[in-house]
Structure 1
Amino acid sequence: MLSVVAVAVAVFAAAAWFTTRPASVAATATVPPEQSEALLRSYSPILGPEDAPVTIVEFFDPACEACRAFYPVVKDIMAEHGDAVRVAIRYTPFHGEASGEAIRVLEAARMQDVYEPVMEALLREQPRWASHGAPAPGLILEVAATAGLDVDAARTQMLAPDVVAILNQDRADVETMGVRQTPTFFVNGRPLDPFGEAELRALVAEEVAASGS
């Protein structure tokens, strides 16, 4: 009887440790050389210091609910590590017409130097314009205008050949990288696997420490 109780206690203790253990960082390899160019392009929007030693690449869809949920997490990670971390955005329009229009609006916002305010406004109001049951893409410019976007100028900028080229290249790179869901993260070329907030924080912290920052 005592041995049975001892085994039960041991099993309970092990289960408790497993569910409360801190996130560990898997020894994931960086992307292979043939994918490195597809991972990050020179034109990709950057949040944070351009010369930060740690780069989080986020495959991002502005209509994605999980991307909206992770945005404050990513901002908190950047704030925690200061100048050591930057975020590169790769567009991943998995949610159809609304995603594509929102991306073009973001590129117009970049031309007008209001990229982050417009991104935050679009994410904040995402439930209005990106409802998966009844998308309302016509609201996107209206929402962006509240964050400082010049809508009249944006209508022309959204159709610029450079913007179309960015969308087309990012779509191709999504296929090359095998991205199937958003957000998908890479930290200094290392894929986040398994996916999770704690795992992302741990992977970034490891890369920051390795950089000596």
Structure 2
Amino acid sequence: MTKRALVMLTAFVAIVVFGGAAMLYSSRDGSTPQAVAVSSGDSLVRPHSPVMGSEAAPVTIVEFFDPSCEACSAFYPIVKQIMHETGEDVRLVEAARKQDKFQPVLEALFANQAEWADHGAPDIEKAWQIAAGAGLDLEPARKDATTPEVDAVLAQDIADVKANRVEQTPTFFVNGKPLTEFSPQGLYDLVKTEIQAAKSGS
């Protein structure tokens, strides 16, 4: 990927993905959960990170991802299924959005990934158009992409990526532990292990 393409993709992701305070997924009853306040000292969970699930959940999944990443697209339904199956025991920390359109935009980007996320040269303008088709209002979105607020969120996220040694997407942490067996079953097993440990008090 060229530096120019990386900068353009970063700006696009910044506005579509970062900067708000709403949840990635809908709750099990179809309503939209509210953001949970978190400590600004946690490099995995920041105040701008939305949290889906109970604040009291004993297990927290944190995901670093990229909408142009094929593996991220493949894991998307798997993470949703884990959240559905584990109910109140697990919460998910993801990226937020400003226009309350994160989930439909992300799903549209994943569904049309082959059209815009060409390896090494993502078509950012095409991604914007796909986002618009999913309901994103492009005029304010493009303006928001250049704000100091988004710049600050990006700078913090880049620092957190380095601090947590994230070298690929998706990268998962479960209760702060990195997922070392990178597979859907590996993620499921780590979540289950953490749930059992929390319930047994160990």
Unaligned segments of structure 1, at least 5 residues: 1-35, 91-106
For residues 130-173 of structure 1, give each alpha carbon's deviation from its aligned partner in whole angstroms, at most 9, with x where no partner exists.
11154211011211112221112211122221111111111111
- In 2, Cα distance between equivalents of 1:131 and 1:160: 27
1:72 aligns with 2:77: yes
Residue type of the partner of 2:156? Q
For residues 92-140 of structure 1, give each alpha carbon's deviation from its aligned partner in whole angstroms, at most 9, with x where no partner exists.
xxxxxxxxxxxxxxx6xx2111111111111111111111154211011
TM-score (ref. length: structure 2): 0.72
**Hey, what does 2:131 align to over in structure 1?**
144
Greater percentage in helix: 1
Residues 153, 131 of structure 1: alpha-carbon distance in 2 compared, 3 angstrom cutoff: same
- In 2, Cα distance between equivalents of 1:153 and 1:135: 22
- Cα shift at 1:192: 0.9
What CA RMSD, in Å, does the superposition of the two structures yield over aligned residues? 2.0
Residues 117, 173 of structure 1: alpha-carbon distance in 2 compared, 3 angstrom cutoff: same
Residues 50, 142 of structure 1: alpha-carbon distance in 2 compared, 3 angstrom cutoff: farther
- Cα shift at 1:49: 4.3
Counterparts of 1:40-189 in structure 2 under 5 Å?
Answer: 40-89=45-94, 110-132=97-119, 134-189=121-176
- Cα shift at 1:72: 0.9
- In 1, Cα distance between equivalents of 2:193 and 2:63: 18
Residue type of the partner of 1:38? S
Structure number with larger C-alpha Rg: 1
Unaligned segments of structure 2, at least 5 residues: 1-40
TM-score (ref. length: structure 1): 0.68
Matched residue SS, 1:159: coil
4+ long deviations beyond 6 Å: none
Residue type of the partner of 1:62? P
Larger displacement relative to structure 2 (40-49 or 166-175): 40-49
For residues 54-82 of structure 1, give each alpha carbon's deviation from its aligned partner in whole angstroms, at most 9, with x where no partner exists.
21111111111111111111111011112
Matched residue SS, 1:181: coil
- In 2, Cα distance between equivalents of 1:158 and 1:181: 24
**Hey, what does 1:9 align to over in structure 2?**
none
- In 2, Cα distance between equivalents of 1:49 and 1:129: 35
